[in-house]
């Protein structure tokens, strides 16, 4: 577990919220979020009862720096914005209770996958371990795309730390979600105009 926040496993199908990584889907009802988690959320959010990208960055980095089993250089503000863009269903630009719950569940699952694929327990991933982890997360990529990922998210020694691993999976989920939304005929191809291309690169 990324941090021992009280997350209940009691989930039921509703239209309240949606969790995906990439082929794993869970729907979350606010009624099934524990009182303890809700209380903790109340201590973390701002005066507007939601968590901004700046607040999210502070929370994630504070927790990540407490761990000695993963290497991290800290979550960037850009990654936190991407997390919010992925999960912000009401368009506030921030995370409410259910959205934050989904994110925390998502990061927990990413951590499980990260540690599982870190076979040598170095606290970071090699490029081959990264490739297996991305595939296990449900993203089928070509060799050239894997090379692009390595170039984008690895350190100078070609290792991938936890914050970059999370950033990569969040970015892939956004791109796959955008593609699937545009591929209305399910033909595996889409045509994008300049505005749509610019949005996929945010």
pLDDT tens readout for residues 68-104: 889 999 999 999 999 999 998 888 999 988 888 889 8
What value, to the nearest 5°, has the Cα angle with vertex 72 and ends 121 and 138?
70
What's 105's domain CATH number? 1.10.238.10
Q: Tens digit of pLDDT for each residue in 3-39? A: 444 333 322 223 333 334 454 445 566 666 777 777 7
Does 39 fall in a domain?
yes
Domain count, the chain: 1
Does 101 fall in a domain?
yes
Does 143 fall in a domain?
yes
Does 11 fall in a domain?
no
What distance in Å separates the CA atoms of residue 122 and residue 103, rounded to the nearest whole number?
A: 25
Q: Tens digit of pLDDT for each residue in 104-127? A: 889 989 999 999 999 889 999 999
User: Mean of the per-residue pLDDT values for the chain?
Assistant: 79
Does 95 fall in a domain?
yes
The two tokens of residue 97 are: 């209770």
CB neighbours of 52 closer than 8 A, spacing ≥ 6?
46, 84, 93, 94
pLDDT of residue 24: 44
**Cα atoms in the 13 Å half-sphere on the side-chain side of 62:** 7
What value, to the nearest 5°, has the Cα angle with vertex 148 and ends 142 and 150?
105
The DSSP line for 93-145 is: SSB-HHHHHHHHHHHHHHHHHHHHH-TT-SSSB-HHHHHHHHHHTT----HHH
3-class DSSP assignment, residue 160: strand
Sign of CA dihedral 102, 99, 20, 76: negative
Does 9 fall in a domain?
no
Does 129 fall in a domain?
yes
pLDDT at residue 192 above 90?
no
Does 5 fall in a domain?
no
CB neighbours of 85 closer than 8 A, spacing ≥ 6?
174, 202
**Domain boundaries, position 174:** 17-200
């Amino acid at each position: 577990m990324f941090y021992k926040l009280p997350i209940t496993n009691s989930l039921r199908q509703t239209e309240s919220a949606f969790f995906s990584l990439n082929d794993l889907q869970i729907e979350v009802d606010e009624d099934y979020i524990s009182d303890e988690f809700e209380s903790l959320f109340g201590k973390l959010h701002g005066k507007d009862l939601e968590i901004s990208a700046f607040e999210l960055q502070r929370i994630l980095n504070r927790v990540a720096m407490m761990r000695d089993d993963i290497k991290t250089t800290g979550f960037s503000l850009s990654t936190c914005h991407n997390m919010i863009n992925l999960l912000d269903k009401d368009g506030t630009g921030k995370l409410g209770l259910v959205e934050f719950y989904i994110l925390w569940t998502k990061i927990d699952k990413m951590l499980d996958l990260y540690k599982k694929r870190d076979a040598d327990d170095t606290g970071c991933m090699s490029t081959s371990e990264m490739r297996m982890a991305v595939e296990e997360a449900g993203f089928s990529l070509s060799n050239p795309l894997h090379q692009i990922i390595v170039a984008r998210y690895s350190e100078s020694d070609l290792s991938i730390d936890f914050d970059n691993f999370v950033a990569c999976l969040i970015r892939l989920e956004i791109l796959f979600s955008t593609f699937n939304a545009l591929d209305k005929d399910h033909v595996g191809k889409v045509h994008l105009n300049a505005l749509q291309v610019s949005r996929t690169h945010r």
